Amino acid sequence: MTDKLRVFTKDDVDPAALKGKTVAIIGYGAQGRAQGLNLKDSGIELIIGARSGGGSEQRALEDGQLVMPVEEAAREADLIAMLAPDMVHGEIYEGQLKEHMLPGQTLLFGHGFSVLYGRVKPAADLDVVMVAPKGIGQLVRREFEKGRGVPGLFAIHQDASGDAAKKALAYADGIGCTASAIFESTFKAEAETDMFGEQAVLCGGVTALFLRAYETLVEAGYPRELAYTECFHELKLVVDILHEGGLDKMYGSISETAAFGDLVNGERIIGPEVKERMKDVLADIQSGQFAHEWILENQAGKARFEAMKQKRRDHDIEEIGSHLRSYMPWLEGGGNNSGD
């Protein structure tokens, strides 16, 4: 087992690192907006780099942010945070940032992908850092507003100035991460573990698991409503308990029947053979095979990607799920309008 990651808090932040400096955010989606609002509330001079007439510009203006074209923001800012989708980083850097950035400026990423896989090859005279909150944008903003923070990771790819770590930690402090904790990592470790977690558990693994379970009950003749409720709806209830207190809290919160079934049959469902397939997934990530496939998919126009998403959207669970969620007023937005 590797050693624990080094942890940093507010006590490790140099207040002078971004004092009198300007930060530009490129990409004002959920994460960019959350971080931008937090930085603004932290008193950091901020620019939003956005295309004229685009949705990002409109959202930023509505939030009272200063908005400039990306090229102008690159010239004006001391630190540029690249928070646009990974696949456009190369195009943005080469076409709109590279010729306008000066030695000593900082290029910050929220994910290690585009640097690790060569989508962006930053000039050697730039500081290149990463600050990656471990939470979606809405959570990053909500916890900041409560005076708390979402834990995160930071990493240094290039330290041209000698102060790259200070600037990364000051940025992390500005978005609220140091109110909780920020751990030192690397671009490689962050990118590979992040993608593996998404594919093996958080998105790919969980989605495949509840779809197969739902299909099993429906094909056995049980009502679709029961299959949805037992194999999908109640998933959040258990995940929330696990998130709050781990396995020990779960076993203290569920029935003994559920706990016995978990201990007896959990490994029958997710056994050693699944772990071997997970190792294959990790190997594809570590070798760059997954990144290569994803880059080619984007270059080809993402037709296969969109077709696979549509196939999932057409699954029977979406229709019955939309119907049942219409009876759950506590859910934000209710149903998903896919079958009512």
**163 near 205, Cβ under 8 Å?**
no
The verdict on whether residue 251 carries a ligand-binding annotation is: no
- Rounded Cα distance between 312 and 111, Å, is 26
List pLDDT tens digits, range 134-167: 999 999 999 999 999 999 999 999 999 999 999 9
Is 184 marked as a binding-site residue?
Answer: no
- 28 labeled binding residue: yes
Model pLDDT, residue 338 = 36
Domains of the chain: 7-185 (3.40.50.720), 198-331 (no CATH)
Catalytic amino acids? Answer: 111
pLDDT score of 333: 55
Instruction: Specify the pTM.
Output: 0.90
- Are residues 62 and 28 in contact, defined by beta-carbon separation less than 8 angstroms? no
H helix or E strand, kind and range, residue 26:
strand 22-26
* Residue 316, marked binder: no
Which residues does 48 contact at the CB level (< 8 Å), separation at least 6?
Answer: 24, 25, 28, 32, 36, 56, 57, 60, 65, 66, 67, 68, 73
Those residues of the chain that have pLDDT short of 50 are 334-340
pLDDT number for residue 4: 82
For residue 292 the two structure tokens come to 């290569």
Predicted local distance difference test score (pLDDT) of residue 331:
87
Spell out the residues 6+ positions from residue 139 whose beta carbon is closer than 8 angstroms to its own. Answer: 150
